[in-house]
């Protein structure tokens, strides 16, 4: 069973800032994650990135994903007001605990 640890739990930033979200996988033999955005609890999540670095349809270019070993990163370059939300990584069905990006 894979365990995904996201950090930080909360990220306080201003519009226009760069956001760097991390996701560490417990298994080093899996090479891909997906990232989701959820704007409000109970609201449907939206797929942002799949296969670690491929943007889903309609996702703006300011969202990017990368990997180094079992560490995966979601970067938002230039936060827009609509980007303040909770972000989850996922691998083999399992989800990380989430990172909330809040307005500073």
Does residue 30 interact with another protein by CB under 8 A?
yes
**Which residue's CB is nearer to another protein, number 16 or number 29?**
29
CA distance 14 to 95: 26
The stretch among 15-23, 29-37, 59-67, 76-84 that binds another protein (CB under 8 A) is 29-37
Does residue 58 interact with another protein by CB under 8 A?
no
CA distance 31 to 14: 32
Where on the phi/psi map is residue 83: left (φ > 0), alpha (ψ -120 to 50), or beta? alpha
Residue tagged 């996701």 (tokens): 23
* Total site size for another protein, rule CB under 8 A: 29
Chain CA centroid to CA 9, Å? 12
Does residue 73 interact with another protein by CB under 8 A?
no
Residue numbers at the binding site for another protein (CB under 8 A): 30-34, 36, 38, 41-47, 50-51, 54, 56, 86, 88, 90-98
């Amino acid at each position: 069973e894979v365990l995904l640890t996201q950090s930080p739990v909360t990220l306080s930033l201003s519009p226009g800032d760069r956001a760097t979200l991390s996701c560490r996988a417990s298994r080093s033999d899996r090479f891909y994650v997906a990232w989701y955005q959820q704007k409000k609890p109970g609201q449907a999540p939206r797929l942002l990135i799949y296969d670690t670095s491929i943007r889903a349809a309609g996702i703006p270019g300011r969202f990017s994903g990368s990997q180094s070993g079992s560490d995966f990163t979601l970067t938002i370059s230039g936060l827009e007001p609509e980007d303040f939300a909770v972000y989850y990584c996922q691998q083999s069905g399992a989800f990380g605990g989430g990172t909330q990006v809040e307005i500073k």
